[in-house]
Amino acid sequence: MLSKRIIPCLDVKDGRTVKGVNFVDLRDAGDPVELAWNYSRQGADELVFLDITATVERRKTMVELVKSVARQINIPFTIGGGINEIADAEALLNAGADKISINSAAVRNPALIDELAKAFGVQFVVIAVDTRAICDKNVVHLNGGRLPTERETLEWILEAESRGAGEILLTSMDHDGTKAGFDNKLLKIVNDAVHIPVIASGGAGSVQHFVDVFEKTNIDAALAASVFHYGEILIPDLKAVLRSNNIEVRI
């Protein structure tokens, strides 16, 4: 059976991880490649690198990061952050990225999804959606959830799918950072509406939250950052609990 995927997310700036990491056996907790290697050894199924570099050299630093990861890591990985055009995506593909994640650039120019899918295949194109509820309506937000758009979340996701998105990474800004659990209600609505894989993000605080999101929504994958970085949840323990709840995982 196809396994549910567990995906640690690493925030990277200028080639270094930004958030502190509490792994006892790391020589350098800021080195994204060493962290990635550690997660792959723990049993992570996939990795997401979110690059928040803001300098003019950003594409170069992203490409260098992707090459280092591809040289040393034996599981698939996605890179996102500031990818605005075909040339950005092509440079990352050639450096060994399995997928790229696009957020704001796709909302501002939806035709970019069509272009990327046509050029590199749908499997390469992840559309990241940051959503926040405003008056009982789920609304797509940009700039890390600070800037509301005119787009309703489900309607935007369906458009992205029809244009050639291969996967949706859905982050609930209402849940993100709360450690109170994933937004299972919205995730189920989205997962039932699309025919491409959906990754849940935002709100993971305990092992039970992962059990809940898979049981209640049947989503394909769950992503988290801090609970993994600070060692609050160890991936082997998480997977053992998922398996004991009859959720298919790779161990």
Partner 1 sequence: MHETKNNTEVAEPTQSKAPPSGGGGGIGIIRYGAGNIFSLTAALDRLGIAYGMVNTVEDLQQFDRYIIPGVGHAGAAMKKLESTGLVPAIKELKKPTLGICVGMQLLTSHSEEGDSTLLGLFPIKTLKFKDSNLYKVPHTGWNQVYPEKENLLFKNIPSGSHFYFVHSYFIEYNKAYTLLSANYTNQFSASIWRDNFYGVQFHPEKSGVYGETLLTNFSKI
Catalytic residues, which ones? 11, 130
Q: Is 108 in the site for partner 1 (CB under 8 A)?
A: no
To the nearest whole angstrom, how small is the minimum distance from the Cβ of residue 167 to partner 1?
7
Question: Counting contacts by CB under 8 A, is residue 59 touching partner 1?
Answer: no
Of the pair 75, 207, the CB lying nearest partner 1 is at: 75
182 touches 215 (CB < 8 A): no
At position 47, the amino acid (one-letter code) is L
187 near partner 1, rule: CB under 8 A: no
Kindly indicate which of the ranges 51-59, 121-129, 148-156, 172-180 contains the residues binding partner 1, using the contact rule CB under 8 A.
121-129
Classify residue 6 by its DSSP letter: E
Rounded to 5 degrees, what angle do the CA atoms 167, 217, 229 make?
70
162 part of the interface to partner 1, by CB under 8 A: no
Interface stretch with partner 1, choices 70-78, 105-113, 129-137, 182-190 (CB under 8 A):
70-78
From candidates 30, 96, 110, 144, binder to partner 1 by CB under 8 A: 96
Q: How near is the Cβ of 193 to partner 1 at its closest, in Å?
A: 10
Among 60, 71, 146, 185, binds partner 1 (CB under 8 A): 71
In a 13 Å sphere around the CA of 23, the CA atoms on its Cβ side amount to 23
Tokens of 50: 């979110």
Q: Is residue 190 a contact residue for partner 1 (CB under 8 A)?
A: no
Whole-angstrom Cα distance, residue 160 to residue 201?
Answer: 18
Q: Does 93 interact with partner 1 (rule: CB under 8 A)?
A: yes
* Residue 92 near residue 62 (C-beta atoms within 8 A): yes
Does position 34 interact with partner 1 (CB under 8 A)? The reply is no
Cβ neighbour number for residue 22 with a 10 Å cutoff: 12
Site string for partner 1, 131-160 (x = CB under 8 A): ------------------------------
Single out the segment in contact with partner 1 by CB under 8 A; choices: 24-32, 50-58, 113-121, 230-238: 113-121
What is d(CA 13, CA 23) in angstroms, rounded to the nearest whole number? 19
Kindly write down the DSSP assignment for every residue of 125-155, as one continuous string: EEEEEEEEEETTEEEEEETTTTEEEEEEHHH
CA distance readout (Å), 159 to 138, 155, 216? 15, 6, 25
Determine the Cα–Cα distance for residues 116 and 221; give it in Å rounded to an integer: 23
Residues in contact with partner 1 by CB under 8 A are: 1-3, 5, 40, 45, 63, 67, 70-72, 74-76, 90, 93-96, 98, 117-123, 164, 166-167, 192, 194-197, 220-221, 250
